[in-house]
Structure 1
Amino acid sequence: MALAEPRKEAKNGVADKVALVALGCPKNTVDAEVMLGDLQSKGFSIVRHASDADVVIVNTCAFIEDAKKESIEAILEAISLKESGAKGVVVTGCMAQRYADELSGELPEVDAVVGFEKYAEIGPRIEEIVTKSGFSMPTVEVGSTDVPFRPEWERYRITQQHAGYLRVAEGCDHKCTFCAIPSWRGRFRSKSFEAIMEEAKKLVASGVTELNLIAEDTNQWGQDFGSEDPRRLADLLHEIAAIEDVVRIRLLYCYPSYFSDELIDAIASIEKVCKYIDIPLQHIADPVLKRMNRPPKDHTVKLLAKIKERVPGVVLRTTFITGFPGETEADHKELVEFCNEWGFQRAGVFCYSEEEGTPAAEMTDLFVPAARSDRQRDQLTSLIQEGQRRFAEQQVGKKLEVLIDRPGEGGFGSVGRTRFDAPDIDCCVYLPQTFPPGTYVDAEITGTFDFDLVGDAAGALEGMGED
């Protein structure tokens, strides 16, 4: 079910059909859902497959080089659909914001390049595309990076109907030397408490029972309010938890700073808050952290120790970068030992990606050979995966709450997630029984599939959501 208002009557009784190719992170997903909600409310018909559309929107990602390549491939594929009847291609997302002129110049087959601030005006651009005749250069509308917040509850949902992303802030004030995101997402700014609560309530009213809080730096929420408004993330968690039909609240994208005692206590004490924290660390060796302009090792170790002590059973998700300029074999060994010691249950490892315009890109005399970076990534990934397997095996024999996401296959009736698994990026639980998506079940874990779990559930938990 979409959160957008019912579609208005289309001109001449026929709606122009729009499809969206969604790439990138959950922040991009929210942008995509809001865009589609706007278009549906204006009379456009949203279709699932790009091949069925009159106009294809490609919502791009520009985080690292691989993401850019994937985005370009998706744009080219959308352009190719013009040969079989599609009328236009619109490029949105981070590549549109960052590389608007390059995209319009090098891919003139694109009809429009639209940045964040102009998303509300995509409807008129699409109307122009479907009615124009002949070739014209792409329309480029980008606007500011510090985009004012607008309501984000009138969405056309492309994610699971029972699990939604709730954006609490936008932009980033940190100056990590490898990251270009602040250059196109702008300065950090918290969404107002009132707007977040209204959006949360409307998402829940639409059937969402799991709210995943997101931002570039989620736990910084409220820090920019100043003394006039003392509310911080801990207060927000308490208020969201008071919404009756919310079952799970999850924190994603937490920077190692801003973990107040009040926030840690809220995570520990609020039953609806998953004992799961996504906290990207990137590295642990001080020489690397200093060049990254990240918090030092001592800060991180003390923070992790405090979280583990005060949030029993907490599951930590993190990310690490190998091959950052100047990283030595000794630095990498220290990172390996750190991962061995802390045993992260959920983690991703990426090779350093050079981003133009960042301070790290200027460290040319410190570049690490790609072969070494790849080898270190593979080594660290294998180590972390062994820990994930052990963690999965430790769940056998336990009873865990599982939220059903989708039907199963290959002899399994349903596939779901535990409280320590975020949508799309973490592990699954396979059950022989068939339950509707959105159902919560109490499952006994009977085995593992590598990192995933196999379980058996007697029935749905009473009073907990179902799509």
Structure 2
Amino acid sequence: MFDTPSAHLLPSNPGSTTATIGAWRAEQLELRFRWQAQHMRAFITNSVWTFRCPRFGHPLGPVEPYATDLQRRLHRYLRPALQRATCRLVEDGLEAPSRQHDGLEVDSRAPIRVAVVAMGCAKNTVDAEVFLGDLSAKGFQIVSENEPADAIIVNTCTFIDEAKSESISAILEAAARKKSGTRALVVTGCMAQRYADELAKEIPEVDAVIGFAAYNQLAEQIQRLVRKQHRMEKQSTVQVGAVDVPFRPEYRRHRLGASHTAYLRVAEGCDHQCAFCAIPQWRGRFRSKPFDQLVEEAHHLVERQGVRELCLIAEDTNMYGMDRGPETPRLAELLRYFQRELVPRGLVWIRLLYCYPSYFSDDLIAAIAECPAVVRCIDIPLQHASDAVLQRMRRPLMSHTSALLNKLRQRIPNLKLRSTFISGTPGETARDHQQLVRFIQEMRFARAGFFSYSAEERTPMAEMEDQVPPQVQERRRDQLFSLQQTIQEQIAESLIGTEIDILIDRSEGGHLVGRTFMDAPDIDAVAYVLQNDWEPGSLVRARVVSTSGWDLLCVACPLP
């Protein structure tokens, strides 16, 4: 999604659902691309760019000079994603949806049904849950993304090329539903913030593009779009605003995941200048949420909504408070407060995600070690292990990282680590890659994700020479995947015969499915408990009896 949830994370059970997913995907792709064939013909012909699909042997190529810098940026960075989302064009496509509504009447007394297609990282999830909470409080009916809806919100991600392609595919799929009664298509999220004008121009089925600062106007926009009886062809509404959006309360949410686990955003934005990353361009400068506001949100989530696990998130979570002066509470104080005040009220786990490999003060390390509720698995995206690559990335060098990881493991008993890494950055040599391979073998991360380098607009690395060919990127990434898969399987097997706490997430097929302290929600391994005697959110002590890949098969321990 980490972020690096946007990274390619290892699936929790890669072999069990392959056939089902393959059949579903084949069916859905065929339907999607049949419509996209006609859809692309409908609006690409009026663009200053024309292209034909490489699948049929035709080269891409702009037919007119670029008119503006905006067009140049779209052609280089957004158009490739649009091309990939529609590359399987077929000639017998379905009729493309138009802006003109089919004339169906809308009952003005019925609540407006809104579905959201949620994409991207945990921070995007919080955004979606909060604005859906606003809509619900104002009388809108929130439905699942597969149910009939009057309006569809696609909450997009633009972290890397693959995320852009997936977001555009989701927008096109949502646009196709206008023929079956959906009246409004709204695009939000990072792609809306970053490429608002381009999206409005290039995908005319989009009715509104809404950036972070305008989320408080979503209700008004959707009401206007849905209730209006006859909508003739017009330009999309674009409301974006500044990236440095003031903090607001984020406890009134429509939850998109399990009710017993929640992401708690402690800060927003980033002050680092990593050469590969464009996030500061649309998330702004780093700014910590006020301590009192954060505490109020946490109390509300735990005491009123029954949250048992808080996952602390930001672009740089462990930098919390450092931008507000020396007297401001830091992350260590926040952890101690949660341990002291919220654990007696039902909180069992505090999870640290997105920690930068700096800012681990002695006080923070001590707080992690002394607070039992802080899970002993810290997420620290390291990106690489070669100093040559790290220097080009503008990231901390290995002398700092190695010393930090050793210090953490020495001072925090039973600590496990998770991380993410990028393969194939400009100038990465085979020797650089082998250094990363050896580092992963030596460190034996409990969980790790990998993704291929993606050239991002207005970043130094996008302009560097010695770009690594995509096939080399993918080969190196796959090698890292395979290595980490073996490590995680070995870690799982080493737990056989031991007892471990499992946080129950759901009941499925007569047994329980949960997670160990090493596993973040939705993206990591799972633990199956053969009994079915506990509700979601329960913390169950269980004995590991077997494994399936890196998933665990457990039997609950008898109650004392």
Q: Please, what TM-score do these two structures have when normalized by structure 2?
A: 0.79
- How is 1:84-99 mapped onto 2 (pairs within 5 angstroms)? 84-99=180-195
Find 1:211's aligned residue among 306, 310, 315: 310
SS at match of 1:273: coil
TM-superposed CA distance for 1:241, in Å, is: 1.4
1:272 aligns with 2:370: no
Report Cα offsets for 1:62-87 as digits up to 9, x if no partner.
Answer: 00000111100110111111000000
Find 1:290's aligned residue among 356, 368, 391: 391
SS at match of 1:397: coil
Partner of 2:5: none
Measure, in 2, the Cα distance between the counterparts of 1:221 and 1:67. Answer: 27
Partner of 1:418: 516
Partner of 2:87: none
TM-superposed CA distance for 1:228, in Å, is: 3.7
Report Cα offsets for 1:299-351 as digits up to 9, x if no partner.
Answer: 00000000111112111110011100001111111111111111111001111
Greater RCO (CA < 8 Å, at least 6 residues apart): 2
Measure, in 1, the Cα distance between the counterparts of 2:408 and 2:326. Answer: 27
Partner of 1:338: 439
Measure, in 1, the Cα distance between the counterparts of 2:147 and 2:264. Answer: 30
Measure, in 2, the Cα distance between the counterparts of 1:407 and 1:345. Answer: 25
CA contact (8 A) 1:111 1:138 kept: yes
Measure, in 2, the Cα distance between the counterparts of 1:192 and 1:427. Answer: 34
Residue identity over aligned pairs, in percent, reads 55
Report Cα offsets for 1:26-76 as digits up to 9, x if no partner.
Answer: 000000000100001111111113441100000000000001111001101
CA contact (8 A) 1:50 1:78 kept: no
CA contact (8 A) 1:177 1:292 kept: yes
SS at match of 1:367: coil
- CA, structure 1 residues 261+228, in 2 after alignment: closer, same or farther (shift >3 Å)? closer
Report Cα offsets for 1:139-167 as digits up to 9, x if no partner.
Answer: 00000000000010010111110000000
- How is 1:65-464 mapped onto 2 (pairs within 5 angstroms)? 65-132=161-228, 133-134=230-231, 135-205=233-303, 206-229=305-328, 231-242=329-340, 243=342, 244=344, 245-363=346-464, 365-409=465-509, 413-434=511-532, 435-458=534-557
Measure, in 1, the Cα distance between the counterparts of 2:109 and 2:300. Answer: 30
Measure, in 2, the Cα distance between the counterparts of 1:116 and 1:184. Answer: 9
Q: Please, what TM-score do these two structures have when normalized by structure 1?
A: 0.94
Find 2:117's aligned residue among 15, 21, 45: 21
CA contact (8 A) 1:170 1:188 kept: yes
Partner of 1:41: 137
Measure, in 2, the Cα distance between the counterparts of 1:86 and 1:370. Answer: 38
SS at match of 1:19: strand
Measure, in 1, the Cα distance between the counterparts of 2:554 and 2:256. Answer: 28
Measure, in 2, the Cα distance between the counterparts of 1:458 and 1:328. Answer: 50
Partner of 2:102: none
CA contact (8 A) 2:129 2:255 kept: yes
Measure, in 1, the Cα distance between the counterparts of 2:414 and 2:109. Answer: 56
Measure, in 2, the Cα distance between the counterparts of 1:319 and 1:155. Answer: 29
TM-superposed CA distance for 1:13, in Å, is: 4.0
TM-superposed CA distance for 1:131, in Å, is: 2.1
SS at match of 2:364: helix
Partner of 2:73: none
SS at match of 1:127: helix
- Tell me, which stretches of 5 or more residues in structure 2 are unaligned? 1-106
Question: Root-mean-square deviation (CA), in Å?
Answer: 1.2
TM-superposed CA distance for 1:408, in Å, is: 2.2
CA contact (8 A) 2:157 2:191 kept: yes
CA contact (8 A) 2:446 2:488 kept: yes
Measure, in 1, the Cα distance between the counterparts of 2:296 and 2:147. Answer: 36
CA contact (8 A) 2:260 2:306 kept: yes
Q: Which has the larger radius of gyration?
A: 2
Measure, in 2, the Cα distance between the counterparts of 1:201 and 1:440. Answer: 20
Measure, in 1, the Cα distance between the counterparts of 2:157 and 2:216. Answer: 19
SS at match of 1:20: strand
CA contact (8 A) 2:446 2:518 kept: no
CA contact (8 A) 2:108 2:227 kept: no
Measure, in 1, the Cα distance between the counterparts of 2:372 and 2:404. Answer: 22
Measure, in 2, the Cα distance between the counterparts of 1:232 and 1:183. Answer: 26
Report Cα offsets for 1:336-374 as digits up to 9, x if no partner.
Answer: 1111111111001111011111110000x2101112111
TM-superposed CA distance for 1:12, in Å, is: 5.5
How many residues were matched structurally?
A: 447
Report Cα offsets for 1:62-115 as digits up to 9, x if no partner.
Answer: 000001111001101111110000001000000000000000000111110000
Measure, in 2, the Cα distance between the counterparts of 1:169 and 1:309. Answer: 28
SS at match of 2:234: coil
TM-superposed CA distance for 1:227, in Å, is: 2.4
Q: Which runs of 4+ in 1 moved over 6 A?
A: none
SS at match of 2:504: strand
SS at match of 2:376: strand
